[in-house]
Structure 1
Amino acid sequence: MPVPDSDFTLLKETVRDAGALAMRYFGTDLRKWSKGADNSPVTEADIAVNDLLRARLTGARPGYGWLSEETEDNPVRLARPLTWVVDPIDGTRAFARGDPHFVVSVALVTEGRPTLAVLFNPATDEFFEATAGGGARLNGAPIHVSNCSRIEGCRIAAFAPMFKHPGWERAGIAPWPEMEILERNSVAYRIALVACGAADAALALNAKSDWDLAAADLIVNEARGRMTTHDGEPFIYNRESTRHRSLLVAGSALHDALLAKVGAVRLPR
Structure 2
Amino acid sequence: MSMKLAVVTGAARGIGLATAKLFLEEGWQVAMIDRDGPALGAACEGLEGVLPILCDVSRPDQVAAMVEEIMSGPGRIDALVNNAGVADFGPIAETDLARWRRVMETNLDGVFLTSQACLEALKSSNGAIVNIGSISGHRASTLRVAYGTSKAAVMHLTQQQAAELGEFGIRANCVCPGPVRTKLAMAVHTQDIIDAYHDAIPLNRYGSEREIAEVITFLCSDRASYVTGQIVSVDGGFESTGIGLPALRS
Classify the TM-score, shorter chain.
under 0.3
TM-score between both structures, scaled by the size of structure 1: 0.27
Structure in which a larger fraction of residues adopt strand: 1
TM-score between both structures, scaled by the size of structure 2: 0.28
Structure in which a larger fraction of residues adopt helix: 2
